[in-house]
């Protein structure tokens, strides 16, 4: 692993379409827990871990995902981010 590359800690919820992603954002706005929604709704294997991706090094994720992650503040949750895999709701975590 290159020490010079940007590193992030993140979790996400992967969904098939924008409407599902908006549904999840609405649930988060109403106080539902990110990890619970990830376990119940995410299309990614990380859903079983509450969406936790652990340490993400630059270049390990889709460029759109990384761009969004870069601009998020610690604890902040993204709007739906489209990639070749679907729509992501991303939360940047403390390193």
Pairing verdict, β 52-57 and 81-83: unpaired
Tracing tokens 């990890």 back to the chain, one arrives at: 35
Q: How confident is the model at residue 5 (pLDDT cuts 50, 70, 90)?
A: confident
Question: Could you give the CA distance from residue 58 to residue 36 in angstroms, rounded to a whole number?
Answer: 27
Task: Return mean pLDDT, the chain.
Answer: 95
Report DSSP letters for 65-79, one per residue: HHHHHHHPPTT-BPP
Res 53 pLDDT > 70? yes
Average pLDDT over residues 54-77: 95
pLDDT (0 to 100) of residue 2:
58
List the strands of the sheet with 7-15, edge to edge. 52-57, 7-15, 86-93, 81-83
Q: Residue 64: its pLDDT value, please?
A: 96
Residue 4 confidence (pLDDT): 83
- Cα 65 from Cα 82, distance rounded (Å): 8
Is 1 strand, coil or helix?
Answer: coil
Counting residues of the chain whose pLDDT is more than 70, the rounded percentage is 97
Place of tokens 């539902």: 32
């Amino acid at each position: 692993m290159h020490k010079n590359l940007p590193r992030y800690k993140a979790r996400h919820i992967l969904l098939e379409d924008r409407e599902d992603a908006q549904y999840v954002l609405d649930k988060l706005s109403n106080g539902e827990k990110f990890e619970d929604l990830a376990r119940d709704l995410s299309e990614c294997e990380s859903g079983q871990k509450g969406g936790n991706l652990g340490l993400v090094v630059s270049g390990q994720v889709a460029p759109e995902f990384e761009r969004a992650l870069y601009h998020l503040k610690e604890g902040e949750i993204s709007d739906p981010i489209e990639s070749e895999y679907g729509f992501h709701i991303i939360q940047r975590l403390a390193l």
